[in-house]
Every structure is written in C-alpha cells, then in structure tokens.
C-alpha cells in the first residue's frame, strides 16, 4: 500500500463526533462531548477530558488526527503499544505505533462513573485501536477488495433479475386480465371487473416499482459498506433508512388510537344515516307520515340531514386525525377554507335557490313549465340547476338562481296528472262574425287527436284591437301527450277549417278610412259552422 493511499485511508477514518460521554463511549452525548470524542471507521474509541495548560481536549483530538495522517503502511503493520508515563504531574498512558507516539490518555480523562482504573481503560482503548487497525489493513488487501467487487456484481445481477421479473410479471398480469375479461371467466361480475381490473394492474405496478426502489437502495447501501473508502456513506444511508422506518413506525403506532376513534365515529355516523334513510324513504313512499315532512321534499331533506350529520362527525373526528395539530395540516385547512369562501358565493346562491324551489314545491319532476323562452317537461330539479326537456328534445339547464328570479309558468301543477291545458291564438278582422270564428276553432279542436273530448274547448276574445279581434283557444290534452306535437296538429286543423269556410287568417291593417264600414250584418251573424241560436 503506497503512502498516498495510506494517507487517503487515514483521512477516511473520519474522526467524527459520536455517542460518548466519558473515556468510555456512552449514549446521548452533548455537542461539547461530541467534539472531544475520537472515532475510527465510524466507531467511538475514547473521549478526552483533561486539559493540559492551554491545550483543550478538542485541540488534543485534532493533534491526534494530524499525527495519524502522517503514518504510512509500515507503521500500521505494527501493533499498537502502550507505555506508562507521568505527564503534567499525573499518571498517563502513551499510545504508539512502530515507535511513533500519537495519543496520551491521562488520569484526568477518566470518568468516575465508568469505575475503571487508568490501566483498565488504556487496555480497552488499545484493544479497540488494534482491532480497527487490523480491520483496516484487512479491508485494504487485494483479496478483500476482489471479494467485495464480486459481491457487488452479484448484488447488481440480483437487481437486474428483479427488474426483469417485474417487467415480465406485469406483462403477464395484463395478458391474463385481458383474456379473462374477454372470456368472462372471472368470479367477479363483468361490470365490477371492468372497473377493478385496471386498478389491480396499476396497483401491482406501483408495488413492483416500490420493491425495485427499496431493493436498489439496500444494494447501494450494502455496496458502499463493502469498501473502506465509502463505508461511512453506506453506514449513513443505512442509519437514515432505519431511522426513517423507526420514525414511521412510531408515528403509525402513536396515531393508531386516534385512527380507531375516527373509525368508530364514522361507523356510528354511517349507521345513523342509514337508519335515517330507511325512515325517510318510508315517508317518501307514503308508508309513514311525519308532521312537517312532505313526500316531495323528503329526498332533499334526507340529503341535507346526511350532510349535516357527516359534517358533525368530521368535526368530532378532526382532532384525532394523524397530523391534525401540525402546522402543515392547519395551513392546508386554512387554504381550503379560503378557497371555499372565495368561490362559494355564487354556488351558495344557486344552492339556496334550489332549496327554495324544492321546499316551495314550485316545480316537480315531470311537470310542464315555461321559463322565459323555454317550454318543456321538467326532467330534474337539482341543488344547483333545473333541467328542462324542450319540444325539440333538447335538455336546457337553467341555474336555480335564474329560475327563482324569473317568472315560472307551471302548466300542469293544478291538474295532477290529468293532462295539460294548451292555448293558441289567432287574430281575425271585424268583417268575420265572432260566432263563426269560435265555431271554427271548436271544430278544429274536435278534429285534433290527443285532445281530451270530455272537457269542451274554450274560446276567449282576448282583445278588441284597432283592426282585428284576438281570439284564444284553450283545450285540455290527454295525459302523456306531447304539448308541442298536439299544438302543431291543431294549427294544421285550424288552417284547414278556416279554408273550408272561406275565412282568411290574416290581420288587416288600414292606412286610411275605408269607403264602407267593416262590419258583419245581422243576417251573417250565424255563418256556418255557427249554429242558428240567439246569443
């Protein structure tokens, strides 16, 4: 071994600060005690406590380091020797290698708590130094380095084999999942298998990836420990991993009682909400009657009560959640609370409007309504929006705040499943008898399928305008009939009837006074199809 290599080896001894509190290594050292501790190969050897003149124990450790760096391979080939001397008016032991002294252990370096004499303490230190010297010499031998290289290569091959096996097993699992799904051989139902299959495959990939990373970490730490130049790094990696696992284990054990309480709270909450759901469903179906609960609003009431119960359960379980008192957890809670506050203004407006619609029972699913320019059947009354199925078979979503702030015309609320009242209007000039117009509208209604014949049509004269009369025809549709479809058919029959009797559907307009007055003579008051009866 060359002198330069030996110098590097001595530097790699890393006389670091390790667990010691006296001449004998102890646990839980203070920073000052660590500064006085000499360690070789990450192993504590001795702590110097005596101060000689102006030389502190920390400076003595640094001097020992300087002397050890000057030793060569011939010096380290010799055993560590001890000599009893008297220095600074106290007994001491001088340590040397190949006749070169490098350390002095004095009576003042001992701790009474160790219950050791100077000779006993010096012998222990000599054995440690000699053991580390032999270990260092052996580890720098060609045979040891070759053996370590072979072990490292073997470990690398194991890692490669693990990666190859992981890739092959992942591909095999994907093929098996595809085949079983195509052949429907799985004991799990097809729909559930289609949902769980990708999750299982990806979960297996996550497990394999985690296993490979852990194995690679262990291999790197093990390889670094095999070689003396990198042994300290390997030991640090191992210590970090062990410390992390211990920390995680302790955190998991400390959080276990809180998790048990959280689980108990959620189980009780689930049982309460389930019992509440059973009771309210009986109210919704009419099997049970409770004061203040209407069957039409029970569904929303059940959801609101469930939300309140779960929020109360979350509030009760919050202090027992792992990390609930940490600054990070509190910061995340404040952040989400701020985001909810800033973004919930419009959301709460629509939600409260939905509650108004639900509890006022202004709208129900299946009713025919008219909102602004939209007319159709209500397909859903949600917490945030109302959906309408129009005559074009379009689904129109109207925010609940817009529904509440506007005018709602419910065409079927008072009929309760007996059909819908439908109206249409025409404007006819004053030269056409109003009795004839009413009779023609009634005749067109009688020819139109989908209109309830048991309820006679109703014709109203809505307004007497300057040049024409506005007539309105109201009919009752049969239950389940399409409003738009019947209206279209009725309009066709109105045109046919008016054409049959020679009456034009046109609203006259005048720009000057006509030569003859526009009126109906008494002889034409009952023109067909009007009946011959006195008004």
Residue-level pLDDT, tens digit, the chain, 535 residues: 444 444 434 444 433 333 333 466 555 666 776 777 776 666 777 888 888 878 888 888 888 878 877 777 777 778 888 899 888 888 999 998 888 888 888 888 887 777 788 888 888 888 888 887 777 666 666 777 788 889 889 989 999 999 999 888 888 888 877 776 666 665 555 566 566 667 777 888 888 898 999 899 888 888 887 877 677 777 777 777 777 777 777 877 887 888 888 899 989 999 988 888 888 787 777 777 766 666 666 666 777 788 888 888 888 887 787 766 767 677 777 777 777 666 666 666 666 776 677 666 667 777 787 877 777 788 877 777 788 887 777 788 887 777 777 777 777 766 666 778 888 999 998 888 999 999 999 999 999 998 988 889 999 999 999 889 999 999 988 887 888 888 899 999 999 999 999 888 888 887 777 777 777 767 788 888 887 544 4
CB burial class (10 A; 0-12, 13-18, 19+) of residue 9? buried
Structural tokens at position 411 = 């065409």
Structural tokens at position 255 = 């959080």
Report the distance separating Cα 301 and Cα 314, nearest Å: 20
CB hemisphere CA count around 496 (13 angstroms)? 13
Query: CA-based angle 103:107:108, to the nearest 5?
Result: 90
In which order are the strands placed within the sheet that holds 421-429?
A: 421-429, 468-476, 458-464
H helix intervals, 294-326: 298-317
DSSP-based three-state secondary structure for 85? strand
How many residues make up the chain in this entry? 535
Whether residue 105 contacts residue 93, with contact meaning beta carbons closer than 8 Å, is answered with: yes
Q: What is the structure's pLDDT at 42?
A: 63
User: Model pTM?
Assistant: 0.44
Structural tokens at position 295 = 């069957």
> What letter would DSSP give residue 471?
E
Instruction: Pick the closest to residue 13 from 234, 228, 224 (CA basis).
Output: 228
Give strand pairing partners of 386: 381, 398
Which residues lie closer than 8 Å to 232 by C-beta, 6 or more apart?
12, 14, 41, 42
Quick: pLDDT tens for 326-340: 676 777 777 777 776
Q: How far is CA 29 from the centre of its chain?
A: 45
Structural tokens at position 82 = 């001890």
> What letter would DSSP give residue 290?
-
């Amino acid at each position: 071994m060359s002198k330069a290599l030996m110098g590097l080896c001595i530097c790699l001894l890393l006389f670091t600060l390790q667990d010691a509190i006296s001449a004998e290594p102890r646990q839980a050292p203070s920073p000052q005690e660590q500064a006085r501790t000499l360690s070789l190969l990450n192993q504590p050897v001795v702590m110097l406590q005596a101060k000689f003149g102006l030389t502190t124990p920390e400076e003595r450790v640094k001097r020992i380091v300087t002397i050890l760096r000057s030793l060569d391979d011939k010096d380290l080939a010799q055993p560590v020797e001890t000599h009893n001397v008297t220095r600074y008016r106290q007994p001491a032991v001088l340590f040397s290698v190949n006749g070169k002294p490098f350390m002095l252990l004095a009576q003042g370096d001992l701790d009474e708590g160790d219950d050791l004499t100077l000779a006993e303490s010096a012998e222990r230190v000599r054995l440690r130094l000699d053991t580390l010297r032999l270990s260092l010499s052996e580890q720098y031998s060609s045979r040891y380095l070759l053996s370590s290289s072979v072990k490292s290569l073997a470990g690398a091959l194991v890692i490669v084999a693990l990666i190859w096996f992981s890739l092959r097993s992942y591909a095999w699992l994907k093929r098996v999942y595809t085949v079983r799904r195509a052949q429907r051989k799985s004991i799990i139902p097809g729909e559930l298998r289609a949902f769980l299959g990708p999750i299982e495959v990806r979960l297996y990939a996550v497990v394999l990836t985690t296993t490979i990373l852990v194995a690679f970490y262990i291999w790197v730490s093990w390889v670094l420990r095999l070689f003396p130049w990198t042994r300290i790094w390997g030991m640090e990696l191992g210590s970090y991993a062990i410390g992390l696992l211990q920390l995680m284990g302790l955190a998991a054990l400390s959080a276990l009682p809180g998790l048990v309480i959280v689980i108990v709270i959620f189980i009780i909450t689930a049982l309460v909400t389930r019992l509440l759901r059973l009771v309210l469903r009986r109210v919704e179906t009419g099997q049970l009657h409770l004061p203040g609960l209407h069957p039409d609003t029970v569904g929303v009431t059940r959801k609101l009560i469930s939300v309140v119960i779960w929020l109360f359960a979350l509030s009760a379980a919050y202090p027992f959640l792992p990390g609930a008192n940490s600054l990070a957890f509190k910061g995340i809670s404040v952040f989400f609370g701020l985001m909810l506050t800033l973004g919930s203004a419009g959301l709460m407006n629509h939600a409260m409007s939905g509650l108004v619609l639900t509890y006022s029972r202004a709208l129900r699913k299946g009713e025919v309504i008219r909102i602004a320019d939209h007319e159709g059947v209500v397909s859903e009354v949600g917490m945030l929006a109302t959906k309408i199925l129009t005559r074009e078979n379009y689904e129109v979503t109207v925010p609940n705040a817009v529904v509440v702030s506007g005018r709602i015309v419910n065409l079927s609320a008072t009929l309760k499943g007996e059909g819908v009242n439908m109206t249409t209007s025409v404007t006819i000039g004053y030269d056409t008898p109003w009795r004839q117009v009413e009779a023609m509208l009634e005749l067109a209604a009688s020819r139109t399928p989908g209109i309830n014949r048991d309820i006679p049509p109703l014709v109203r004269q809505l307004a007497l305008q300057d040049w024409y009369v506005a007539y309105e025809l109201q009919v009752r549709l049969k239950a389940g009939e399409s409003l738009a479809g019947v209206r279209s058919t009725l309009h066709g029959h109105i045109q046919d009837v008016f054409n049959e009797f020679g009456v034009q559907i046109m609203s006259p307009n005048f720009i000057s006074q006509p030569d003859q007055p526009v009126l109906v003579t008494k002889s034409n008051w009952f023109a067909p199809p009007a009946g011959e009866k006195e008004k």
